[in-house]
Each structure stands twice: as C-alpha cells, then as structure tokens.
Chains A and B, each alone.
Chain A
Amino acid sequence: MSDCRREWNREDELPVYLAGPISTGPNQRKSFGMFSSVEGAFESKTIDFDNYAVGRQGSRTPRSGSRERLFDTRKPVGQTPTEAREETLTDSPRDGDDANTGVEVRTSSRDESPDGKNEKLLIKGGRVVNEDQSLYADVYIEDGIIKQVGENLVVPGGVKVIEADGRMVIPGGIDVNTCLMKPFLGIKPVDDFLQGTKAALAGGTTMIIDHVTPQPGDSLMEVFEHWQEAADKKACCDYSLHVDIPEWNETVKHELELLVEEKGINSFQVYMAYKDLYQMSDSQLYKAFSFLKHLGAVVLVHAENGDLIAQEQRKILGMGITGPEGHPLSRPEELEAEAAFRAITLSNRVNCPVYITKVMSKSAADTITQARRKGSLVFGEPISASLAADGSQYWSKNWAKAAAYVTSPPLSPDPTTPDHLHTLLACGDLQVVGSAHCAYSTSQKAIGKDDFTLIPEGTNGVEERMSIVWDKSVAMGKMDENQFVAVTSTNAAKIFNLYPRKGRIAVGSDADIVIWDPDSVKTISARLQQSASEYNIFEGLECCGGPALVLSQGRVVYEDGNLQAHPGTGRFIPRKPFPDFAYQRVKFRNQGKQGVTRGMYDGPVHDVACTPKYITPSPSARTSPTSNQPPPIRNLHQSNFSLSGAQADDNVPRRSGHRIVAPPGGRSNITSLG
C-alpha cells in the first residue's frame, strides 16, 4: 500500500502539463484504455469492451507485452491465465520459472481426463491442519470425498499422487460473504458467479456463500431461484446462499418458512441502514429476529444507523462535498458501533444468535467483544477490506481510486484498524472472515461521480482473503495455523451448519482441500487478479502465504498459478436450520419468565380518563378495570379467602399463567403498606 501511495505522490508532483488526463496524451490513453486503473488490468478479463465505446480507441496492448511490464520485482506465484475470455477456461500449464513451488504432481497413469477431473487422488507427505490440531498424514480422496486420512494408506493403483512435501494441507476456505449478483440501480457487479468463483479458487477458497438481494416488493423465492439458476450455470466451486430480507410483512414470513424448510437456507440478512429502501425499524427487527429464531436461522445484520446516515448525507451534500470522501464522512464509525450495539441488544431480548456482517471499525469490533464477554450470542465478520486496508484512500485525488474503496460500512480512516481487527480475530472475539466481494467497474462506480450517495458500494477481496489473514495474522505471530483454519473455514462451516462436511479434513468430508504455501510472496495487483474489476483496493500489497494447490470436489483446480476452473461444476449446498454452534446455547436459555403470584389488589382505584395516554397499546382487548360489573359467583375453592363486596376485576378472566395459590407461611397482606 505504501508503495502505491508513493508512486501516486510522484505523479502529483509532476508539472501541470504532464499530469492530468490531457497530458497523458492520446498515445498513452490508447495503450491503457481511457481510465484503465492498472496497466494491463483488462487483460484476461471477460469484460465486453464494446460496451465502453469511449475508452476503446482500437489498440490494446498485446497480451504478451503486458507480462514484461510487471513492476513488482518479485516473481509472482499466481499467474493470470492468458485466455480467460474463453468459456472453457482450461489453461495449459505455464511453462517456465516455477522451480521452487514445491508441489509436485505426478500421475502414475497417464489417462487423466482432459478437463483435469480425477476420480482418485492421494496427497502424500502433507501436514494436515485442522482447526483443533495439526498432524502429518496422507489424504486419500475418491469421488470428491475424503476416504482415508492417515499414514501408510492402502490405496488402489492408478491413483494420482500429489507430493505435499511437508506443506500444510488445510480445508478449503469458505467465504461467507460475497455479492456476485447484487443489483444496484439496475446494474450488476462485473464479477458474476463465474468470475467470482474463479477468483475464489485462485485464492484458496473452495466455497462461497453469496447474498441473494431481493428488492422490496420482490418475491424472495423467485429471486432466490434466479440466483440459484445463475449460480448453477456458472459457479466453479460449491456455493450456498444467504437471503436478504428487504422488508417485513406476512408474505415474507411465509416465504422464509419455505426457504428454510424446502430450499435449505438457514441464514438471512436484515438491514439497519439504507433508509427508505431496506432499513427496518427496531420493532420490525424484533419481529424478524423472533421469527427467524423460531425457524432456527442465523440472523445476519448489516449494522449501521440508517436514519443518521440519511441525515449526515444530506448535510454533507449540502456542504458541497460530493466526492467519495463524503461516504466515510457521512458514515462515521460510531454509527456502525451504535447499530451493532442495538442489534446485540435486540438479539439478547429475543434470545437468538446474531451475526454482524462486515465489521469495519475498531469500535464496532469492541462492541462485539464486550457483548461476548457478557455472554451474548454474537458473531462478528471482518472482511478482507477491513483487515488490510484503511479509509485514508477516500481522500485520494484520483476519483476512480477513491471510489473503488466505497463500501458500507466504510473502511475506517483510522490506519490502526486492520491491526486491531486481526488481534481480535486471533483471540477469537471475531470469528469468521468474509470478503464482501462485490466488484463494480470504474464506469459503474462513476454513476456517483457527482453524488457520492450514488456510488455503487462494494470492494474486491475474495481472492486476497486467505493470503491477507495469513500475512497479517499468522506471519505476524498473532495467530497459529489452527486458528487460521478456524477463521477462514471451520467457524463459517459451523455457524452455517456445514460442518463437518466442509471446514474439516476428515474421513467423509468433501474433498475441498488447499495445500498452503506459507512462504510464497505475492504482490497483489489488478493485473494479476482473476476479478474483472480494473481496480484492486489492495494494489501493491505484498502478501506472504498463498495456495500452492487447490482441490475442489476432489479435482485439482489450481496449481502453481494455473487455474483450471469449470463453470457449472459448483453445487448448491443446502443447509439445515438450528446449527448447534449458534443454537445450542439458545435452547438452554429458552426458559420462560414467571409472574409473581399475589393476592388480588383490593384497595381503592383512582378514576382514570377514558382516553388512555402514555401507555403502550396492549395487544389483547381487555375490559376497563374501573367498570363495575355485577359480581359473578365466586369459586371460593379457587381463592382461599373471601373478598368483601364486588370486585372491579371480577369480570377479568383469570389467566392460566396467573395462578392464585396459598403460599406456604400464609398470604401476605396485600393492602397494608410497608
């Protein structure tokens, strides 16, 4: 990050006639595309350039040339496939300089199917790292399932053997937060399920959970099916779906029931922000939480105070601030902390687990930490962006760069935030890492060029997620490798009830396995990424650690920088409600409160005006306590003392929960004072 900053400043110092779009001249523009963020960023992308007639200008850099222009001195480990625009995506292995990659694949029989599919696989000599322990063992895989784990396995012949050479063999990452189809003003992110899952696999993530985002008024079920259809066609790795609840009414409740019972969805997101669009009031949230608890679903919350944001946005626009810096200015981190606090309060009242998506600031993370100390059932999900970048770039003079960072809640301008979040992640106060990958192209971001509230929100991160956590947490000594597995994969699988099918290397689990190379160093750049966006918010960041080999469903999909993803191979993984990790404690806490059994109050009652004020309307219609009714025949057995005269409450039916019994030691005198 510092590198790119410096480079930028250098350009700032250029004389006026050399800086600025005009000075770059038509030649330069030709070679980069008009506002191409990174030289060569359009290479190997599936963008349809014909859509951008303005920037095309005919001649793009020849692909072979772009390789030579890498400005990082280190040798990149992950190399972009050269021809990604083709739908088949099978890349020939790159020739050349990967002598030290360490993972060696040899096949004892040469009848490997051309698409890389292999029924039987043996990973030899690796160190299997699960969330709880690490051990040296071989892993034998058949039909996409782990069949044996141990030493000296007896395996059939003709098995493809992967030599891990003592490297870490970890469960494939699970990215719990992606938005690959989130519509914004009718546009969709440039990374769809194909592009997005390719990026995921390249980063060592073998499963994503995407957010289905219906608009208010849409049928949740229809939108869900639309998502599933698109994903089934394109996804290269297993996936599951969260469904966002954009509004609260009876139809929604019915659809939620169907989704949980028939479609295998157990997590739903509600919004405390986006006023007049997705935002729910506290009462609605209470009802939604209660209902989702009843269904056994995990409640995801986008925690920001939408009312205040709307006010602040108006204020900031009124001050003439229209650029991306208005975004963090109008969404200060307090608003995030406040909403997180409120969400936790609500969940405590309802006694349901709550999951805060996108923890972006120290104060929100601290709020979650404190609540966990008090015993609240709350999970926090920092994302790649908040773990590796800060919000200072919103003030960049480069509009496109500043806009690339726009996401909600915004990145905190406090540069110590990533470090703090890593610390909390390492000690278990935050549980899972998502990416909130939602990549928009610069021209899409430019919708908000005159009004920051219209900038589509989203950053990249699905590909960088695992490496960032490794580099910033494990390589820094904050976290051990087991915790690394927990936060990148296992905890997510547990919270969303995928465990132990996903998130663990064990017999019977899915063969989603990554051989992790802790020593590889990679410089993140938009030129090398799988994502189709021109910007990478981590541009120039050097990350230690990366996948050397990725297995998805028992097939090698990524090896030494070569991606062999197959669109349409990803399966939808249904999830059952009531995940133990979240709901076991809830079950024990589900004990009802009881009223105090008292004698009936028989003193005088003050006359009240008929129009009740100052009271909350009670749901049940009850008779006025003052109206005098003829006394019914009292059942003297029910109450063991007789009251003198007609009682105002005689007409009130005695509720079953309000039993009148004779307490041991006699009844207290209910009317005398003291």
Chain B
Amino acid sequence: MSYQGKKNIPKITSDRLLIKGGRIVNDDQSFHADIYMEDGLIKQIGDNLIVPGGVKVIEAQGKMVIPGGIDIHTHFQMPYRGTTTVDDFAQGSKAALAGGTTMVVDHVIPDPGNSLLEAYDQWRQWADEKACCDYSLHVDITHWSDSVQQELECLIKEKGVNSFQVYMAYKDYYQMTNSELYEVFTFLAERGGIAQVHAENGEIIAEEQARMLQMGITGPEGHVLSRPEELEAEAVFRAITIASQTNCPLYVTRVMSKSAADIISQARKKGNVVFGEPITASLGTDGTHYWSKNWAKAASFVTSPPLSPDPTTPDYLNTLLSSGDLSVTGSAHCTFSVAQKAIGKDDFTQIPEGVNGVEERMALIWDKAVTSGKMDENMFVAVTSTNAAKILNLYPRKGRIAVGSDADLVIWDTDSIRTITAKTHNSAAEYNIFEGMELRGAPLVVICQGKIVLEDGNLHATSGVGRFIPCSAFPDFAYKRVKARKQLAVLKAVPRGMYDGPVSEYSMSRGGTPSASARTSPTKQPVRNLHQSGFSLAGNPAACGPPAPDDIPIRPAGRRIVVPPGGRSNITSLS
C-alpha cells in the first residue's frame, strides 16, 4: 500500500481507490482482477485498468476480495424496560466493520399499541446520527389492527422497508394468534413484503416458565429448560404452514436448533418459499453454558430461542448452511451489560435476552464452515452477503463486486488466526460468548462506501456516515416463485345443478362454524331463474317454501350454472 501523506488519509481515500492483484470472489465465481472505485462506487473491474493519477493503490497480493458482509439481523440501541442495549449504532457498526461487515439491517421494535411509523422515524434518527456503515431496517409488527395495516402500506411504499417480523412467542406482549398471522402474511404477500417470524410457541413457553419457577429453578438454566427446541421446531412448522397457505415468502429469524433447521430444510424440499437464518451464536456455540455455575456467564448466553444444549448443533447448522438449506446468516447482536442482565438474577424470565456476534460472524463462518471443508469461498460470500442482499432486494447494489455496485469490499485474509476475547472486541459488553475461541480467517482491509475503514488492524470508522438504504418490495429472490404460483393456484368451484332434495330441519342456535357473511337460511328455496339454470324442476312449487325477496344473494356470483358440454350431470341420483 502506498500513501501520499499520513494526515489526509480520509480525504484521499474518499475519492479514488484501486485494489490491485486481488482475487475477486462473488457468490457465483472467483477470478483475478483489479478493482477501481470512485465516489463510493465500483467503476471498473479488469486487468490493466486505465485509471487517473493520484489514486491510492492497495496491493491485494492474490488475497481474496469479497463483497462486504451484510448482517441481516441486529438490535443496536434497542430500548428495553427503560434501558438500552450497550452497543448503540456507533459502537455496533464499528464492531461490524471490524469483523468485515459493511452493512447491517436493524430491527425496529415498536411497543405494542404504538405507531410503527413513529418507531421507524425514531430508529432512523438514531442510526443516521451514529451509524458508521450503511444500514437498512426491518420493522417488527407487534400488534395487528387496521391502523397498522395503513402504516405498513406506507412503510413499504414510501419508507423503503420490505421485511417485517412477527412474533409467535412472548405471550400477552408481542405474540400473535394464528388468525392474526394469517392476516399479516396475506397482507404482506399482496404487497410484496417478506414475513419474518420469531418462531417459538409462546403459550407453551408461558406454561413451562410457570412450572420451572414453581419447581424452584430460577437461574438461567430455566431459560433453556422452559424453551426446549421442540417448541421452536413446532412454531417453525406452523409458520411454514401458514405461509404456504397464504403463499407468502417466509423468513425464519434465529434458527437455533437442529430440529428447527430440519423442518426448514424439509419444507424447502417440498417447495415452500422459506429462508432460515442461523445466527453467529447458534453457529459457534451451544447451550451447555446455561448450566455454568457463574451466573453472569450463564446469563450472557440468554437469548430466544435459546442455544441448544446439544453440542453437535453448531456443526449441524454449518452443514445445512453449506448445503443451501439455510440461506443467510445474521448475528442477532443485542448486547446487555452484566448489570442489565442481573435484572433477572432471581427470575430467569426477567433476564434481558440477547447475545453478541456482529463482529465474529464472518470469521466464525469461515472457520467453522470453509476451513473445515464444508463450504467453498463462493458459498461463503453467498451466505454472508449475497443472499441477504437478494432477499432485501438490494442486489446487485450490495452483495456483489460488479461495476456499478457500492464499493463495500473486504480483503479477506484466510490464514490469520485470532483469539476472541472480550478484552479486545469492539462491542461495549463485558462478556463475549465466544470467549477464548480461536478463529482462522479475518478481514485484512475493509472498504466501506469507497473508504478504507480497517487496515493494519486499525479501525477508522466515522460516526454518522452510514446511509439508510431503502429496500423495495417484491424481491425477485423470494417473489418470482410466489408470483408464478399465484397464477396457478386459482381455485374454482365445481359447477353443479342445484341440490333439490329434502333438507333436514336443523337449528342454527349452536354449533357449526360461523360463516363470515350473513347469508339467508339455506332451507328457504330461492326463486329460480329458469333461464339461468337451464332446466325446470318437476317438483311441487308449493314445497319450495315462500319466496323471500332477499333470496338473490344465495347464488354467489362465482358460482355460475351453465350447461356443461356433454350434458348436465344428474345431481340427485348416484353414479
């Protein structure tokens, strides 16, 4: 690397950059080429580029140049019971950059009953002030009403949000019923949104929590005991069922257990449009630490769904990630200090939930999946960056090294070995759940918006430079199949003659599924339009009962009675 003067690094790097001699790795192929960047965009890719003078040159020396990582799931500066997570947008995005992630997607969590738009504006304000890298937002739907629908409409059309999370857990707070989920999914499917779910069965959790507390289990181990992995798998199964009924693409956040991952991969094999997101924690560690004698340590692992106590889980999830059954990785970075976690020192249900992971995400996947031979470097790019960009409809602006894309690049050093410890990490938390883990692979140089933010181990992040990147609706990655299926899945009624036999007397007082529309009693015989039906009845008209004036709606518009080719079927005699 060559500098023209140490003092004005930011100025020079902001303009023009040339990466020479790198191996560009996209999700589809790898090739050797130089990259020329200007004004935060990639302008040229190729050998022997013609570039203006005064360009800063970075010698990649054959190292991998990959698109910057996209962490699709973070909770920076998340308010929780009057306090906020210790990593705000500045601290959090700094940690992201240090780990090779150049874009984060944060979750906006409005309190139930509050306006989604207000919460969105609040998050935008916080992030615009502080974020050091580009960001985008998911909005969580914490309650369901007509006003929420209007706000969603506005968020999708005007505010650049295309993904919304709903909760199947947190009973009496965020949790939605199956009917509400159905309505949300239907709504999102019509408007091109991605339905994200926090998949856990909240009702059973509530019962189990009560039982655990009754048994005198109050420590963090109660968290995992009251949220066994089946409850996650069950909710995933249910979410997939609802999504497939409503023909809505589904995104399962935080896949933490083998059984949940299995359900997703089975559903994908059946053709469901579903994406699974394992997080750094589930890919790197397991839930045995909940039984640690050190309360603070055990509490630092508390997140929902919990880490699985099965120590083979991380390996298994990495395998499914490599095979493509799980699509993207997030970090669910949501850090609380030990003092904050200690809110729940006498009752595990009160422990604030969240683990770190935004900084470790890329290195961890490299170490666990690529160096172990499960995954190749292209797949690595896909799961850390490209797939996320595709789901958010940001591709190819993000997630790819191509002419015209944003200059968010990472020069990846495949051989460097780092030991993760809370002493050196960029997060403000006192604990790191990956403490002591040795990871092979690390970013050597990180370029964000065409500026070098990390080199030689020095971070030059600037607060407030992060831009909000709007996501548009109907991402092809998720919706192409959905659209095609919508055309196929038009249900049709069978045209039949009217049933003209006797009808039993019955009472509507009780029983029966209440039908949505008020309809006239089926026992009344409508006035028959003989032209419409094409045949006359031989029965006694007196038996048909008094004709009612409001009989017309009894024949719905969709149910045309026509003479079918080949003659009408006899509706009363048996085949």
Contact residues of A with B, CB < 8 Å? 4-5, 7-8, 11-16, 18-24, 26, 32, 34-38, 52-55, 183-187, 215, 274-277, 281-283, 286-287, 305, 307-314, 316-323, 325-326, 329, 332, 334-335, 337-338, 341-342, 345-346, 348-349, 395-402, 441-444, 446-451, 453-454, 526, 535, 539, 592-601, 603-609, 612-620, 622, 625, 649, 652, 655-658, 663, 667-674
Contact = CB atoms under 8 A, between A and B. Distances in A.
A308 B339 contact: no
Nearest to B291: A596
Given A349-B208, A592-B215, A619-B210, A625 B345 contact: yes
11 contacts: A35-B572, A55-B501, A276-B514, A282-B204, A341-B237, A399-B499, A400-B572, A539-B575, A605-B343, A608-B82, A614-B80
A32 B292 CA distance: 78
A657 B215 contact: yes
Contact of B538 (A21, A275, A338): A21
A674 B241 contact: no
Nearest to A326: B493
A429 to B, nearest CB: 17
Contacts of A320: 493, 556-559
A319 B491 contact: yes
The majority secondary structure among interface residues of chain B is loop
Contacts of B292: 596
Nearest to B216: A657
B221 A596 contact: yes
A454 B504 contact: no
A348 B511 contact: no
Contacts of B566: 12-13
Interface in B20-76: none
Given A13-B567, A283-B203, A614-B80, A21 B234 contact: no
B571 A400 contact: yes
A317 B294 contact: no
Contacts of B535: 16, 20-22
B263 to A, nearest CB: 9
Contacts of B462: none
A349 B231 contact: yes
Contacts, number: 400
Given A24-B570, A443-B502, A674-B435, A311 B179 contact: yes
A531 B7 CA distance: 96
A613 B110 CA distance: 12
B216 A321 contact: no
Contacts of B567: 12-16, 18-20
Contacts of B554: 450
A185 B507 contact: yes
B129 to A, nearest CB: 24
Chain B interface size band reads 35 or more
B350 A348 contact: no
- Top 4 nearest A-B pairs (CB, nearest first) are A320-B558, A657-B216, A8-B575, A307-B178
Contact of A619 (B201, B214, B294): B214
A153 B457 CA distance: 95
B206 A187 contact: no
Contact of A673 (B173, B228, B430): B430
Interface string B487-507: 000011111111111111111
Contact of B241 (A37, A186, A338, A448): A338
Contacts of A619: 210, 213-214
B219 interface: yes
Nearest to A604: B339
Contacts of A451: 515, 519, 522
B163 to A, nearest CB: 22
Interface of B: 80-83, 111, 170-174, 177-179, 182-183, 201, 203-210, 212-219, 221-222, 225, 228, 230-231, 233-234, 237-238, 241-242, 244-245, 291-298, 337-340, 342-343, 345-347, 349-350, 422, 430-431, 435, 491-517, 519, 522-523, 534-539, 543, 554, 556-559, 563-564, 566-575
Contacts of A616: 170-172, 205-206, 209-210, 349
Contact of B512 (A396, A454, A605): A454
A346 B234 CA distance: 9
A335 B294 contact: no
A16 B536 CA distance: 12
Contacts of B564: 397
Contact of B214 (A446, A609, A613, A620): A620
A21 B537 contact: yes
A184 B502 CA distance: 17
Contacts of A594: 217
A349 B204 contact: yes
Contacts of B206: 283, 616
A215 B214 CA distance: 34
Contacts of A5: 575
Nearest to B430: A673
A412 to B, nearest CB: 15
A614 B109 CA distance: 12
A572 B347 CA distance: 51
Contacts of A349: 204, 207-208, 228, 230-231
Given A12-B566, A13-B567, A673-B431, A453 B511 contact: no
Q: Which of B296, B504, B535 has the most CB of A within 10 A?
A: B504
Given A185-B512, A282-B203, A397-B569, A308 B430 contact: no
B217 A593 contact: yes
Q: Which of B225, B296, B496 has the most CB of A within 10 A?
A: B496
Contacts of B556: 317, 320, 322
Contacts of A18: 567
A598 B289 CA distance: 13
A140 B201 CA distance: 56
Nearest to B174: A614
A346 B203 CA distance: 10
Contacts of A649: 345-346
Contact of A606 (B337, B498, B543): B337
A449 B572 contact: no
Nearest to B177: A307
B569 A398 contact: yes
Q: Which of A21, A215, A322 has the most CB of B within 10 A?
A: A21
Q: Which of B244, B245, B523 has the most CB of A within 10 A?
A: B245
A544 to B, nearest CB: 23
B232 to A, nearest CB: 10
Contact of B513 (A37, A277, A535, A667): A277
Q: Which of B178, B491, B496, B573 has the most CB of A within 10 A?
A: B573
Nearest to B511: A185
A325 B494 CA distance: 7
Contact of B494 (A8, A305, A323, A335): A323
Contacts of A400: 499, 501, 571-572, 574
Contacts of B217: 593-595, 657-658
A275 B536 CA distance: 40
B496 A608 contact: no
A619 B231 CA distance: 21
A598 B295 contact: yes
Contacts of B174: 614
B213 A609 contact: no
Contacts of B82: 607-609
Given A22-B536, A320-B558, A334 B179 contact: no
Contacts of A14: 567
A443 B171 CA distance: 45
B501 A446 contact: yes
A322 B557 CA distance: 11
B204 A605 contact: no
Contact of B245 (A335, A444, A614, A672): A335
A321 B512 contact: no
A36 B574 CA distance: 7
Contact of A608 (B218, B343, B431, B506): B343
Contact of B294 (A444, A615, A668): A668
Contacts of A444: 504, 506
B515 A606 contact: no
